[in-house]
Amino acid sequence: MKFIRGVNFATFARRGVLALPETRESLQQMIRELNADFVILTPAAMQATAHSTHIDLTGPHTSSDEELIDTIRFLHAQNIRVALKPTVNCLDGTWRAYISFIEPDVPSEPKWHEWFASYTAFQLHFARIAQQEGCCMFMPGCEMVMADHRDADWRKLIAEIRTVYTGLVGYNCDKYQEDRVTWWDCVDVIASSGYYPLGDWENQLDRIEKVVRQYGKPFFFSELGCMAVKGAPQLPNNWEFNGEYDPEGQTAWYEDMFRAALKRPWVGGFAFWDWAGVPYTPDTPGHTYDLRGTRAAQIIHDVYSAHESG
């Protein structure tokens, strides 16, 4: 697998956002300022709660096929590799990691097999687009912590994806879950969300390395990042921090992460979270993961430039 100089762009874009002129301008700025050659697009679908079995990809929360395809083609025209990572979220705000159902099945209660049937239809829809448009990777899920243990269901899903998509298939597990997924053997690429605390990267990389060696698969961080907010470097996964602006802390986190990760030859790249499609308002600097205008963006650019021929 070629080294990934990546970023997650316009994450969970609502219908119409990818077609906006300012989104296209933002995309061009991102490529230029990060020197990225790999973009993850995350078309979203929604279910009502963490215990609902119907997944809707027809509403305003999901970008249209036409605008998604147009964005993929625009990126390919600039020699940017594209991965699709269709992601389900909950309308009530519950984090997708908590999607779960009673085990074993209970009459009259929602069931895992009902959910996986809807989830499979959702993923196959976008897998067909990924195949049609020549996307280099397809990732059928992100941070599905409470669902990860359903080994047979994931194997069946991935087997069905392979009937319509012939590129690399990966999966984005959550932080601290790399050694808990039991079905890495059926994907081509292991990936995870690297929101690890400042100063703890060596410990976590030691743990992840055992998984990578066990399965003999390529690995990259398909999400990672840190806000420029006081306290965020110690808990970079907490998107609810809303405190004092701290660009020095954000810079320290990125420097610490790269210092540790780049020493590991099995780390096949990064896809940072994130770069917004429509720019955030300037009165909230650092209070999102958006890399625009940050010192972190320059650090990423320098690392990606050093790996440009990799």
pLDDT, tens digit, 9 for 90 and up, residues 51-83: 999 999 999 999 999 999 999 999 999 999 999
pLDDT score of 188 more than 60: yes
Average pLDDT score over residue span 260-285? 85
Q: Is the pLDDT of residue 23 over 70?
A: yes
Q: Is the pLDDT of residue 124 over 60?
A: yes
One CATH from 3.50.50.60, 3.30.70.2190, 3.40.50.300, 3.20.20.80 for 4-306:
3.20.20.80
Please state the rounded mean pLDDT for residues 254-276: 97
pLDDT bin (cut points 50, 70, 90) of residue 244 is confident
Q: Which of 128, 129, 83 is nearest to 223 (CA)?
A: 83
Q: Rg (Cα) of the chain, in Å, rounded?
A: 19
CA 9 – CA 70 distance, rounded (Å): 14
Residue 280, pLDDT score: 65
Q: Under 8 Å CB-to-CB from 163, ≥6 apart: which residues? A: none
Confidence of residue 119 (pLDDT cuts 50, 70, 90): very high
Residue type, 297: A
Statement: residue 286 has pLDDT above 60: no
Q: Contact at 8 Å (CB) between 173 and 208?
A: no
DSSP one-letter string for 61-109: TS--HHHHHHHHHHHHHTT-EEEE--EEEETT---GGG----SS--TTS
pLDDT band for 108, please (50, 70, 90 cuts).
Answer: confident
Mean pLDDT of 249-254: 96
Distances (CA, A) of 212 to 40, 147, 178, 187, 264: 22, 21, 9, 12, 11
Q: What is the pLDDT of residue 281?
A: 57
Task: Report pTM.
Answer: 0.96
